[in-house]
Structure 1
Amino acid sequence: MKESNKKIELLGSAPIPKALLSMGLPTMIGMMITALYNLVDAYFVGGLGTSQMGAISVAFPLGQIIVGLGLLFGNGAASYIARLLGHEDKEKAGKVASTAIYSSIIVGILFIIVIMILLNPVLKLLGATKSIMPYAMSYASIYVVSSIFNVFNVTMTNIVTSEGAAKTTMCAMLLGALLNMILDPIFIYTFGMGVKGASIATALSQMVSTLVYIGYIFSKKSMFSFRIKECCFSNEIMSEILKIGVPTLIFQLLTSLAITLTNMEATKYGDSVIAGMGAVTRIMSLGSLIVFGFIKGFQPIAGYNFGSKNYDRLHKAIKTSIEWTTIFCVVLGLVMVFFPTAIISQFTSGDVLLIENGSKALRANGFSFMLFGFYTVYSTLFLSLGKAKEGGFLGMCRQGICFIPIILIIPIFWGLNGILYAQPIADFIAAIIAGFMAIKLHKELHILKINSISSKE
């Protein structure tokens, strides 16, 4: 009970900088390490050859979709749990947590079965060429099956963070990622397993993260028991989970679609361009996952204080989060702008075309990444406040509403450059839209604050 009170205090009364660091820093570190092991995966596989690097680039969207299933229930539940805790309704919050975790496992298993049955045509659809396909099948066959652990892990990450236990999330992701970094070179090179070795290393690392979360449940450190009998599929609970979870899932699906469309356009220019864009995607995921990790700490603070009508504290959390994420994004963006060739060169043994095109794309993405923190704070904020319509729209802007028309149209007139610069152009447009929506939101919050003060007088 004492531990539970500490978590509630962190969400509702601790100084905002302390609360954001306590909640966001552990998750941010965990996601940073996760992003690093994605890069390490690409680094070691890149040493095998361009087609092998292309294989993991083609399979990457499948991972994004699977993560989306965890976010469907995890992020949807986390937003509702934070608001319920703000209303001091722990019993219902526990039901939401149990419902989310078991729902994600069932849906995840069904999805994986379907993908495995259709794996070959799915990989073709994702952009696998004849030279890439054998490696893509070898990698994805293990990667997809083992991803049930990742569905569980992503769901738990969101739920555990929503109750204020961000350090547990960090430990789960950290141990899994470090193990993957150690096992990658052993399975790929020492055991001579190639891309299959990379997928086995990833599977084992995800299992370890799962064991950490299972240990957390049985240690009874959580506010929730996660018992099957607590599952409640009432209209109220499922609608609250899904109204936030579905937009999040759509965001992940659009991310996968964006990568797929990029790969499909890149097939016209050969394996080197596919591999180069794959390297850029993984590098950008390093920065974006660090921001997402920090925002995971901001999300329950925003939801809790909105639920408890503490609008001054909510405003301070928003302002601080924007400042901190923007500083980080500008610094990392400048690194990508000034050192793109040195960075991209690490993912190939000397493919000149890969380095040339990858460097162009990375430099352009570095400029647009400077706005990523601002955009992410507000796309998350709307969902944290239960505003599914606005949050869903903003979440779809960057990788969907803005990106899809650009990647389909601009390459027709601009050729390969249209592929390299499509994402940065979409990012700039999405950030502008976020700015207009932010202005409207703050006006609404100001009115709610005035009404809240009036009702107390």
Structure 2
Amino acid sequence: MHQEQVSHARADAKYRQMTQRPVEGLILRLSLPAVISNLVTMAYNLVDTFFIGRLGTAQSGAIGIAFSVMTILQAVGFFFGNGSGNTLARELGKHNEERASKLLSIGFFGSVFSGALIAVLGLATLRPLVVMLGSTETIAPYAIEYLTPLLCAAPFVCASFTMNGLLRYQGQSAFAMVGLVSGALLNLALAPYLIFVLKMGILGAGLATAICQTVSFCILLYMSRRHSVIRLSFHSFKPSVLLIREILGGGLPSLVRQGASSIAVTCVNLAANPFGDAAIAAMAIVMRIMLFINSVIVGLGQGFQPVCGYNYGAGLFARVRRGYWFCIRISTALLAVFAVALFIAAPHLIAVFRSDPAVIAVGAFALRIQCFTCALNGFNMMSNMMQQTMGMTGIASFLALCRLGLFLAPTVLILPHVFGVLGVQMAQSVSDVLSFLVTMPFQRFILHRLKGDSAIRIH
């Protein structure tokens, strides 16, 4: 009984904080830990790319192949984390802690079980898998070495992303940050030790990633047990058709977004394949750099999502609109500044990861092309995250699919036949513009329906 009283008091205090404090300061406070988590996580991905780049061009290309698999693991983690978290935040906004607790448990255990299934299937089909993802004969052995330990840790990788999301949606971003950052910092030391000191090469890089993701999982699980607004327990793991439907609705946009991202990365690898290992390696480096930049905007959106969920659940629609426009202004300004810096430093940035002149030539030009359109992603991503948090599954899933699936995948497969390697380099920018044009009318309609606190709920 005492535990239930403590949990209820904690939930009530969090409700007052999320629905009464000034929106701008609240979003910044919640987004700062998320931004730090994303930057540190992306930094250790870039460090992996840097260290592996010292081994050779084929090894650098293997990272581009492995990235597709990592994206799938993230997709599963985000599906359960966002699927449970979106509805969880709205339920907390309605003071429905019991239902929120069930969503928390279903999301966590569903992620663990799904990760275990991916591990079994992935390890059983690893060789044909890497070939299907675009490996050349020289890249395939290295991709297999890197992916073997990573797939073994798949249940923990998926659950780490899930737990990070579930803590964020409860407004506990700082505790989510501790778990992810701890694993990332460990990887900064462990990866070079295994790669160079123990001379394990790319296998050491994969093993370091697997170990560090497992450490992050353990820390996040501890944080959730101690500091979650609602308790995580197997006793609350009671799936029902209604709850599963809620999770599917909330998580489908994330699954589509990440799944389409994996397909898009594979399409980029396949499109770059005819131009050799240098083109695959260059595009892998460019994708990592752009992910690092976009991670700042994703972190801002992750700070907005719990605010959006709580206030939308509580019927405070004016606060939802105010928070959204605040995030649009900040994200667009930041991306514009990053674009200028990246355009100037493009060749030097690529050279940091791989000094091969062919890699630098392809990568620097691709990075500069993306600088012209990357500022549009603030609007694209923030709008999509808002739609998902509000439970608008159909619109959110469609727009998530547009940027990386409906637009990028065919674009990157068609343009190289017309423009050669330039088609690979410009495909992402073309996709960004098309996504912006499609997102605009949908978001205008949604914002019109959310005018003031008397707005009608959109389902």
- TM-score range normalised by the length of the shorter chain: over 0.9
Structure 2 distance, partners of 1:258, 1:163, is: 32
Residue-by-residue CA offset, 1:377-406 (whole Å, 9 max, x unaligned): 101111111100011111111101111221
Query: Does 2:272 align with 1:235?
Result: no
Match of 1:131 in 2: 138
Which residue identity is paired with 2:351? S
Residue-by-residue CA offset, 1:253-277 (whole Å, 9 max, x unaligned): 1101111011011110110000000
Indicate conservation of the 8 Å contact 1:7/1:165, yes or no: no
Match of 1:455 in 2: none
DSSP-derived class of the 1:421 partner: helix
Match of 1:356 in 2: 361
DSSP-derived class of the 1:285 partner: helix
Match of 2:309 in 1: 303
Which residue identity is paired with 1:359? A
Match of 1:225 in 2: 231
Quick one: structure 1 residues 273 and 450, their matched pair in 2 at CA, closer, same or farther if it must change by over 3 Å? closer
Structure 2 distance, partners of 1:380, 1:408, is: 28
1:161 to 155, 168, 180: 168
Match of 1:209 in 2: 216
Q: Superposition pairs for residues 223-372 of structure 1, below 5 Å?
A: 223-348=229-354, 350-372=355-377
Query: Which ranges in structure 2 are unaligned for 5 or more consecutive residues?
Result: 1-5
User: 1:115 Cα deviation (Å)?
Assistant: 1.0
Query: Does 2:64 align with 1:64?
Result: no
Residue-by-residue CA offset, 1:298-334 (whole Å, 9 max, x unaligned): 1111111111111111111011111111121111111
Indicate conservation of the 8 Å contact 2:272/2:424, yes or no: yes
User: 1:3 Cα deviation (Å)?
Assistant: 4.0
Q: Superposition pairs for residues 357-396 of structure 1, below 5 Å?
A: 357-396=362-401
User: 1:192 Cα deviation (Å)?
Assistant: 0.9
Match of 2:35 in 1: 28
Structure 1 distance, partners of 2:197, 2:233, is: 43
Match of 2:449 in 1: 444
Indicate conservation of the 8 Å contact 1:10/1:164, yes or no: no
User: 1:448 Cα deviation (Å)?
Assistant: 7.0
2:421 to 402, 416, 422: 416
Indicate conservation of the 8 Å contact 2:11/2:92, yes or no: no
Structure 2 distance, partners of 1:3, 1:19, is: 17
Structure 2 distance, partners of 1:44, 1:451, is: 53
Quick one: structure 1 residues 58 and 82, their matched pair in 2 at CA, closer, same or farther if it must change by over 3 Å? same
Structure 1 distance, partners of 2:454, 2:11, is: 28
Runs of 4+ more than 6 Å apart: none
Structure 2 distance, partners of 1:329, 1:150, is: 29
Indicate conservation of the 8 Å contact 1:368/1:428, yes or no: yes
Indicate conservation of the 8 Å contact 1:82/1:163, yes or no: yes
Residue-by-residue CA offset, 1:143-167 (whole Å, 9 max, x unaligned): 1211321111111011111111100
Indicate conservation of the 8 Å contact 1:217/1:226, yes or no: yes
Match of 2:53 in 1: 46
Matched residue pairs, number? Answer: 450
Indicate conservation of the 8 Å contact 2:118/2:154, yes or no: no
DSSP-derived class of the 1:370 partner: helix
Indicate conservation of the 8 Å contact 2:146/2:206, yes or no: yes
Structure 2 distance, partners of 1:441, 1:378, is: 10
Indicate conservation of the 8 Å contact 2:113/2:155, yes or no: no
User: 1:9 Cα deviation (Å)?
Assistant: 2.6
User: 1:8 Cα deviation (Å)?
Assistant: 2.0
Residue-by-residue CA offset, 1:27-60 (whole Å, 9 max, x unaligned): 1101110001000000010011101111111111
Match of 2:3 in 1: none
Q: Superposition pairs for residues 114-153 of structure 1, below 5 Å?
A: 114-153=121-160
TM-score (norm: length of structure 1) = 0.96
Indicate conservation of the 8 Å contact 2:335/2:374, yes or no: yes
User: 1:217 Cα deviation (Å)?
Assistant: 3.4
Structure 2 distance, partners of 1:56, 1:231, is: 37
Which residue identity is paired with 2:69? L
Which residue identity is paired with 1:267? N
Residue-by-residue CA offset, 1:171-221 (whole Å, 9 max, x unaligned): 1111111111111111111111110111111112112211211222343x2
User: 1:346 Cα deviation (Å)?
Assistant: 0.6
Match of 1:107 in 2: 114
Structure 1 distance, partners of 2:68, 2:28, is: 31
User: 1:62 Cα deviation (Å)?
Assistant: 0.2
Structure 2 distance, partners of 1:450, 1:83, is: 16
Structure 2 distance, partners of 1:447, 1:26, is: 30
DSSP-derived class of the 2:55 partner: coil
Structure 2 distance, partners of 1:419, 1:203, is: 31
Structure 2 distance, partners of 1:405, 1:64, is: 19
TM-score (norm: length of structure 2) = 0.95
Which residue identity is paired with 2:401? M
Quick one: structure 1 residues 37 and 450, their matched pair in 2 at CA, closer, same or farther if it must change by over 3 Å? closer
Quick one: structure 1 residues 306 and 244, their matched pair in 2 at CA, closer, same or farther if it must change by over 3 Å? same
Structure 2 distance, partners of 1:450, 1:101, is: 33
Which residue identity is paired with 1:277? M
Indicate conservation of the 8 Å contact 2:46/2:289, yes or no: yes
Indicate conservation of the 8 Å contact 2:73/2:154, yes or no: yes
Structure 2 distance, partners of 1:54, 1:11, is: 45
Query: Does 2:18 align with 1:11?
Result: yes
Which residue identity is paired with 2:142? Y
User: 1:446 Cα deviation (Å)?
Assistant: 2.3
Which residue identity is paired with 1:226? L
